[in-house]
Amino acid sequence: MSGNTIELKPITRITANCTGKPGQRTFYLQARQDFQLVTLLVEKFQVQQLATGIAQFVQQLQERYPELEPATSDYYTPNMLLEPPVEAIFRVGQIGLGYDEDMDLIVLVAQENEDDPDNSRVARFWGTRSQMLAMGAYGAWVASQGRPICGNCLSPIDVDGHFCPQRNGHRH
């Protein structure tokens, strides 16, 4: 770690996961390189977008470099759990992806949600295409395990019911 930048190259594991009950969950992006563990706070929609973005990015890489061995999104669930302590060092504002062709590694760049970009912290996690696909697949699955969605208004349904404007105010 130098200044405002954290660099894990290469990672030994990465996950996108959450704590809490549906409707009150907190999402995290967590990576490890040997003994260094980095946890970042993210939003559910960022996990969902990241999962989609990684899948598309890996597909583009495969088309651009057809000689690459295909990557897999397979994961072992116990390896995708958050490691304690789950203490985020910053809230992520922007996430980007890059690729190092020589090392065949994807870099996930997460920048802090900060008003002053010059003072925001950045984390760079370098992993294999399969590590990133697995993290994305698991993160998408975790994000999908939230509250059910109302078929009428597309809003989440709380445990104690749901006020649906599409049903003229009737709860269901």
CATH number of the structural domain spanning residue 117: 3.30.2450
Range of the domain at 31: 5-147
Categorize the per-residue pLDDT at 152 as very low, low, confident or very high, splitting at 50, 70 and 90.
confident
The answer to the question of residue 155 being in a domain is: no
Q: d(Cα 30, Cα 39) in Å, to the nearest integer?
A: 4
The answer to the question of residue 170 being in a domain is: no
Domains: count for the chain: 1
The answer to the question of residue 84 being in a domain is: yes
Q: d(Cα 29, Cα 39) in Å, to the nearest integer?
A: 6
The answer to the question of residue 172 being in a domain is: no
CA-CA-CA-CA dihedral for 87, 140, 79, 94, to nearest 10: -40
The answer to the question of residue 163 being in a domain is: no
pLDDT in tens, 3-28: 699 999 999 999 999 999 988 999 99
The answer to the question of residue 41 being in a domain is: yes
pTM of the model: 0.86
